[in-house]
Amino acid sequence: MASDLHTHTRCSDGLLNPEELIEAAKEAGLNYIAITDHDTVNGVCQLYEAGLYPAKGIKIIPGIEFSAHHETQEIHILGYNIDIYDKNLTDRLNDVVEGRWTRFSSMVQKLQEMEYDISETDVLEIAGDSTSISRSHIAQALVRKGYFHTVKECFDEVLEKGRPAYVSHYLLQPEEIIDLIKQSGGIPVLAHPKLIKDDALVEHLLKQGIEGVEAFYPKHSPEDTERYVAMANKYNLMITGGSDFHGIEGRMPKKLGEFSIEDSYAAEIYREPNI
Ligand code: AMP
Ligand code: MN
Ligand code: MN
Ligand code: MN
């Protein structure tokens, strides 16, 4: 049987709302699914408050994906089994999400100065009720307006770190993220290490209190996976994996279940909900 420990909902930059995601996961035959939205636990809260977590027929793991501060690289840290109502965690998340709103305005302004005819409303139409506003929403708005063929092309030309419309937002340091996850009862896992593009930095991060490595990831080659599994073993860390499903047009995987991992990895992470 199959599992997926990395997925997004409309609460960050995914397409499906949490309820639809769980339905899609059941249809795909997944046994375990983790919801790991960027800088928010709203998706898991929505399920819980609608009486849909815990769920029948599938084991849901409450999760999150933090973006960490770094000068040049993109570092993402997953947190599993965090207490979604932990006051310290939700306070810090509010700070981060607020920073995302300021940064969103600055990026739209920069794009306007670059002569792109785009408004905050154009982006908000795509973001819907997401509180964790993202470059991904801006990219989709620019594609919809016909400036780029794909979201990827838009990132490559203007939105990537170092490109002209990029603006950083308020980001926590990796060490603070790791501590926040742990003090709210969670397991910190280094997300998609290949995307950090620097294995020396990956190894450095693994020594900062991280407890798992996302070795299985769609953009990892079999050799990458083997290397990260070996690194996890070297530092005695858990091995995880997930599809990073967003459901956005043109982004792989298209369907939930297309990329999955063995249940045994998810079973190691899963805790019975005590609510
Ligand atoms: P943000 O968290 O606002 O900095 O935006 C980053 C999000 O944009 C990521 O979570 C991805 O979903 C998406 N993203 C980042 N880089 C790319 C890329 N090169 N192509 C497509 N989507 C990307
Ligand atoms: Mn994303
Ligand atoms: Mn990520
Ligand atoms: Mn992700």
* Cα distance between residue 206 and residue 215, in whole Å: 13
pLDDT at res. 220: 98
Burial profile 98-110: b = 16 or more Cβ within 10 angstroms, e = fewer: ebbeebbeebbee
* Cα distance between residue 208 and residue 110, in whole Å: 36
To test the ligand 1 pocket, which listed residue (7, 8, 13, 252) has its Cβ within 8 A of the most ligand atoms? 13
Dist. CA 163 → ligand 4 center (Å): 21
Nearest to 89 by CA among 189, 176, 210: 176
Domains of the chain, start order: 93-159 (1.10.150.650)
State yes or no: pLDDT of 268 exceeds 70.
yes
With 0-12 / 13-18 / 19 or more C-beta atoms within 10 angstroms meaning exposed / middle / buried, residue 65 is: buried
Minimum CA distance residue for ligand 1 atom 4: 135
* Cα distance between residue 112 and residue 118, in whole Å: 6
pLDDT at res. 182: 98
The pLDDT tens digits of the residues spanning 28-85 come to 999 999 999 999 999 999 999 999 999 999 999 999 999 999 999 999 999 999 999 9
Backbone φ, ψ for residue 16 (5° rounding): -85, 150
Dist. CA 37 → ligand 2 center (Å): 8
The answer, yes or no, to whether the previous bond of 253 is cis (omega within 30 of 0) is yes
Backbone φ, ψ for residue 183 (5° rounding): -70, -15
Q: For tokens 């594609």, name the residue.
A: 143
Atom of ligand 1 nearest to the CA of 39: 2
Dist. CA 89 → ligand 2 center (Å): 20
Report residue 274's pLDDT band, with 50, 70 and 90 as the boundaries: confident
The pLDDT tens digits of the residues spanning 155-207 come to 999 999 999 999 999 999 999 999 999 999 999 999 999 999 999 999 999 99
* Cα distance between residue 147 and residue 158, in whole Å: 11
The answer, yes or no, to whether the previous bond of 54 is cis (omega within 30 of 0) is yes
Dist. CA 53 → ligand 3 center (Å): 24
DSSP for 75-108, please give it.
EEEEEES--TT-HHHHHHHHHHHHHHHHHHHHHH
Q: From the CB of residue 267, how many other CB atoms can be counted at a distance below 10 Å?
A: 12
Report residue 90's pLDDT band, with 50, 70 and 90 as the boundaries: very high
| Strands of the sheet with 59-68, listed across from one edge | 238-241, 212-216, 187-190, 75-80, 59-68, 30-35, 2-4, 261-262
State yes or no: pLDDT of 250 exceeds 90.
no
Which three-class secondary structure state does DSSP give residue 154? Answer: helix
Selected residue with higher pLDDT from 275 and 119: 119
Dist. CA 135 → ligand 1 center (Å): 6
State yes or no: pLDDT of 1 exceeds 90.
no
CB 107 within 8 A of CB 138: yes
State yes or no: pLDDT of 275 exceeds 70.
no
Minimum CA distance residue for ligand 1 atom 5: 135
Sign of CA dihedral 104, 109, 114, 117: positive
CB 13 within 8 A of CB 248: yes
Q: Is 67 in the pocket of ligand 1 (CB under 6 A)?
A: yes
DSSP state of 35: E
Q: Is 26 in the pocket of ligand 1 (CB under 6 A)?
A: no
Minimum CA distance residue for ligand 1 atom 3: 134
